[in-house]
Structure 1
Amino acid sequence: MTGSARSDWQRDLVRELTDSPPSENGAPHTPEPQPQLPVPRQPRDPRTLPAPTPESRPTVDPRLAVALGRPQHGDSAARRAGAGVRRLTASAGREVAEQTRYAQELQRPVTTGRVVAVTSIRGGVGKSTVSALLGRTFNHYRQDPVLTLEADAALGTLPVRMGAESVRWSAGDLARILSPAMQLTDVTGYLVPVADGGWLLPAGQGRVGAPLNVATYRTVTLALRRYFAVTVVDCETLPGEVARTAMDTAHARVVVAPMTAEGVHGTRQVLDWLARLPHSALDSTVVALSAATPDATLDTKAAAAHLREPGVTVVHLPYDRHLAQGGPIHTAKLARDTRDAAVRLAAEVLGRAVRVR
């Protein structure tokens, strides 16, 4: 290769690499440094980012779990013996007919997923307890998948009441990875299996953090409805934004009323608000009148009558020692009256949810 050819080859190579001609002596020409303008970075869609796997956290601190003690029965031994005698003298046929009717109501076919929202006017009145009772009752009677979803921005107790030992994925975590291509087996991998059947999706990991917002709630409930026949939503208390959204969009509603004068009065105001919603939400609402103490002095019949005036059904949940103890709910430990009330409440609310188009 001649010197001229080599020079041309080098010149062409330098031009390709530097996009500038070489100097006269064949050396690459070094351009004057130019100020570099910042290149704007395009933000990545967070939905395309891999979701980090959260740590699994216990629902109850192990140091506190030992303080729960052994679960006690909802009724005392004397009361259980007396109830057995009363059942022998009562109309057994009427009781069997009623139980059969409720069982049939709970087992009726559901063509599209039904959402049942549970809320109250304030915390500490048994909202999560009622949600857990409903979830367990639907799990017991139905053969299709049932989900109990926590939508409480506060540090809720639903995972504990449902018997979950630990939680990992929350509603907010799942909202970021849900896609129409997911199958039921894919979704349940992010849920907590309940001991006696069904699934649980907690709102968080039992610590203070970002509250569940309306957008997350809508994303999760709309996506999961196609996988589960019944979804029980343990909402935040009214008038929270998520609670109002859940009550407005659910197929049926349960308002938990504490059996106190101020509790009944506040619940009646909620019922009046539901009556003003444009799609007759009151027609698909049931009130659970819950007794938190055996020493309640409010007249149960008078309180129920006051709540029935707008046209809703009221189901009385009696005081239960097992529920008052806190911790996981063991169905076998519930008082008989509590189990009967839970079955009736679930049948009443599902009947209304199925009738909604």
Structure 2
Amino acid sequence: MSTTDQRDRATGPASPATGRAPGAPSLLRAVGAAVDPRLTARLRRIRRQDELLAGQLRRGHIAVLGFTPHTGGSTVTALLARICADLRGPRALAVDADPAGGLFHRLGGRPGGTAAEVLLALGIRTPAPGMPIRPGHRWLRRQLTVTQTGPLLLAGDPGAGPAPFTRPGEYAATLPRLRRWFPLLVVDTPKGAASPATWEIVTTADHVVVVGTPDPHSLDWLRQGIGWLVRSTGRSSAGRISCAIVDVRRDGGSAAAQRRSAHEAVRVPVVTIPYDRALARSGPLAWHLVGLETRRCARELAATVATALTIGPVR
């Protein structure tokens, strides 16, 4: 009897699609689970997370807010925007509402930005002659594309003119027009409460992700900032606010210790983004250089937001 016949008698004929015997995958999984039971639990958790993201992260208005500069707010926005774009393609949009232009730089915005023409075309600002007043999704997608693989981006160029949403009421007027074509929005919110856009964004957002670092000073800012959000919006933090702690130091503590410390300070769901050289670099975020653990934590943050969105949007 040939070796192939002996194998087929032992395991059954190989699948034409995979070339493997039907029992091989389950055997490999059983061996893997026997060697390390944690592997099976982790794979099961990843599968549940993927199902949650695919099923729930379909629509929503997500605001990312840092209360002090250099805490990683634009970086967290870029990570969430990339995950949303991978899930929803051209129906997800990243918005840079911060005059500093952090998200513009993180996502590699093109010179001149994309906001000026779009706001004119949407009728938010006085349009130029010949400018379409009611653009369609195809026109918007063409205007908002900055890279072939990255998320669509609405942003001004900080070096080429006034930032978008610096006028009172401008963001509130733009939001419903954007959501007509982009059901999933991730917004980099201006730092603190000085900008008129900050109030308009956090009061209309379905979920707010506050961002800080693990040092005590930043945690104190987060605690006070969450209190301000609760008082200003008149809604509980439960299910509406989560926290991303960005480890900006190479010698930072363990993620578990940072998460415990942050949770004790802010009392909302906390996800730690580990130190990553790709995140520490200035300029556009090179997704292919982002570490696997960083991607896992970013997806965990997205899943935390998706879980909160199941409660329903703010009306």
Structure 2 match to 1:342:
298
User: Is structure 2 residue 144 aligned with structure 1 residue 219?
Assistant: no
Residues 48-79 of structure 1, C-alpha deviations (whole Å, 9 max, x = no match): xxxxxxxxxxxxxxxxxxxxxxxxxxxxxxxx
| Amino acid corresponding to residue 183 of structure 1 in structure 2 | G
Structure 1 match to 2:226:
271
> 1:131: how far off?
0.4
Alignment partner of 2:281 out of 309, 320, 325: 325
> 1:348: how far off?
1.0
Report the aligned-residue RMSD. Answer: 2.5
Q: What is the number of equivalent residue pairs in this alignment?
A: 265
> 1:123: how far off?
1.2
Structure 2 match to 1:105:
52
Which secondary structure does the structure 1 equivalent of 2:180 belong to?
A: coil
| Amino acid corresponding to residue 124 of structure 1 in structure 2 | H
User: Is structure 2 residue 115 aligned with structure 1 residue 162?
Assistant: no
Counting aligned pairs with the same residue, the percent is 26
Distance 1:301 1:285, change over 3 A: closer
Structure 2 match to 1:72:
none
User: Is structure 2 residue 249 aligned with structure 1 residue 293?
Assistant: yes
Residues 304-326 of structure 1, C-alpha deviations (whole Å, 9 max, x = no match): 232353xx100011111111012
In structure 2, what is the Cα distance between the partners aligned to 1:231 and 1:249? 12
In structure 1, what is the Cα distance between the partners aligned to 2:295 and 2:63? 20
Structure 2 match to 1:134:
80
Asked if 2 retains the 8 angstrom alpha-carbon contact of 1:144 and 1:229, the reply is no
Equivalences for residues 165-314 of structure 1 within 5 A = 165-170=110-115, 172-178=116-122, 181-207=134-160, 209=162, 212-240=166-194, 241-276=196-231, 277-296=233-252, 300-309=258-267, 312-314=268-270
> 1:173: how far off?
4.1
In structure 2, what is the Cα distance between the partners aligned to 1:133 and 1:293? 18
In structure 2, what is the Cα distance between the partners aligned to 1:325 and 1:127? 14
In structure 1, what is the Cα distance between the partners aligned to 2:286 and 2:111? 17
Asked if 1 retains the 8 angstrom alpha-carbon contact of 2:56 and 2:307, the reply is no
In structure 2, what is the Cα distance between the partners aligned to 1:140 and 1:94? 25
Asked if 2 retains the 8 angstrom alpha-carbon contact of 1:163 and 1:195, the reply is no
Equivalences for residues 146-161 of structure 1 within 5 A = 146-154=92-100, 156-161=101-106
Q: Which has the higher helix share?
A: 2
> 1:245: how far off?
2.0
Distance 1:242 1:182, change over 3 A: same
Distance 1:214 1:281, change over 3 A: farther
Distance 1:90 1:220, change over 3 A: farther
> 1:238: how far off?
1.2
Structure 2 length-normalised TM: 0.76
| Amino acid corresponding to residue 62 of structure 2 in structure 1 | V
Answer with 1 or 2: which has the greater Rg: 1
| Amino acid corresponding to residue 91 of structure 1 in structure 2 | R
Structure 1 length-normalised TM: 0.67
Asked if 1 retains the 8 angstrom alpha-carbon contact of 2:278 and 2:290, the reply is yes
> 1:303: how far off?
2.0
